[in-house]
Amino acid sequence: MKNNFAVYRSILGPLLMEYEEGKITLLRKSGSDTVGAGNPTSLTDDVFIQLEEYFAGQRRIFSVPLELHGTDFQMEVWKALLDIPYGHTKTYGEIACAVGNSKACRAVGMACNRNPIAIIVPCHRVIGFDGELTGYAGGIMMKRMLLDIERRETENSVT
């Protein structure tokens, strides 16, 4: 069994990070409270610090090396997600248009669902055409919480 993972406690619950060759390959909620498991490194510690800053409203852009693995279409979608600014949302249709296939809304949804690096690759910023919060691998409550953090900090910086 590989030991290239670490689990950290966060406001969302345990977060599992996997890495290879100095790059993050997975970030998601962990199904069990195995905090401290794995092999934390300076990389995973840095990612965790940046996540804590994000949760506290002190970070809008992540600066950690990522290694994404997926189909060409998934990679295009994930790149488009990285272009959604902090505090903003786009619809599945807008992302489909951004990747050159306006009819691919459902495929965009599936690519978002398979996003291996939650929060940093911000699939939580993708919403339904009517503004409703729809599907999120971490659950709608987590999606709402992440959007609320961003909305609150965006509103605070305007005033």
Residues 88 and 54: their CA atoms lie apart, in Å, by 15
pLDDT for the residue 159: 47
**The total number of structural domains that make up the chain:** 2
Average pLDDT score over the chain: 91
Q: Identify the residue whose tokens are 């488009």.
A: 80
The answer to whether residue 66 is domain-embedded is no
Quote the pLDDT of residue 154: 65
Tell me the average pLDDT across 90-116: 95
Are residues 51 and 76 located together in one domain of the fold?
no
Residues 83 and 146 in one domain: yes
pLDDT of residue 35: 67
**Opening angle at CA 142, ends 137 and 145, nearest 5:** 150
Domain containing residue 129 = 72-158
Answer yes or no: do 92 and 124 share one domain: yes
- Residue with the bigger pLDDT between 1 and 114: it is 114
pLDDT at 88: 95
pLDDT at 65: 97
Structure tokens at 116: 């291996």
pLDDT at 138: 78
Is residue 157 scored above 80 in pLDDT? Answer: no
Q: CA 36, CA 31: separation in Å to the nearest integer? A: 14
State the catalytic residues.
123
Q: Is residue 32 part of a domain?
A: yes
Q: Tens of pLDDT along 30-76?
A: 877 676 778 999 999 999 999 999 999 999 999 999 999 999 999 99
Q: Is 60 domain-assigned? A: no
**H/E segment holding residue 131:** none
Same domain? 23 vs 85: no
42 within domain boundaries: yes
Instruction: Please determine, for residue 19, whether its predicted confidence score (pLDDT) is greater than 70.
Output: yes
Q: Are residues 89 and 132 in the same domain?
A: yes
Question: What is the average per-residue pLDDT within 98-117?
Answer: 95
Judge if 137 and 82 occupy the same domain: yes
